[in-house]
Chains A and B, each alone.
Chain A
Amino acid sequence: MTNYVEHLQPELIVNYCKLVIVSVDSPMLSKDIKDGLGATFPFLSDEDKKVITELEIVDTTDKYHPVAIPYTFVLDRDRTIYKIYNGWWYVGRPTVEELRMDLRALMSRRQDWWYDKTPPPYAQKSDELTFHMER
């Protein structure tokens, strides 16, 4: 998480992208962790495991302390799932660079991504990319 605070957080502020953390920690502990890290993004508390149970992402390896399987979801503006990272193995968790690429891909769908005029070959009509075209 420290790499996100150090490297991703400053970019999110200027990039209009959001980062949200969910854990089974209490709100009080979440606040301590957030403040300790110097994080400005929100930490949500699923203390009773209701949400992670509904989503079927509970890690029951330790039956006394069920926690979330560390999935990361990259969501578009309307919460459409763009990408899913399974962080069961640490190497499965997305790096700052991978998240930057994902967020770039999503932000570039905005009509105002090209400040002046969309250059070819990007200025092509598609269902997904509706750029303003001037020829």
Chain B
Amino acid sequence: MRDDLKPGNTFPDIELPNHDKETVTLSSLVRGFPTVLVFSRGYF
């Protein structure tokens, strides 16, 4: 894991397509509320 990913630091504002193929930023989802961000192994 990258060195700056530790408690107290700001998580990068990642940008990815969602389940509807719309590109969204993490900040647009957080919108000022506590957020649980889960990296899943997925199902492939």
Contact = CB atoms under 8 A, between A and B. Distances in A.
Interface of A: 1, 4, 8, 16-25, 27, 29-31, 33-34, 42-47, 51-52, 54-57, 59, 65, 67-84, 94, 99, 102-103, 106-107
A35 to B, nearest CB: 8
A9 to B, nearest CB: 11
B36 A79 contact: no
**For chain B, what secondary structure do more than half of its interface residues adopt (helix, strand, loop), or is it mixed?**
loop
B16 A45 contact: yes
Interface of B: 1-2, 5-14, 16-21, 24, 26-27, 29-44
- Chain A interface, DSSP helix/strand/loop, else mixed: mixed
A104 to B, nearest CB: 9
B29 A106 contact: no
A27 B9 contact: no
B39 A69 contact: yes
Contacts of B13: 79
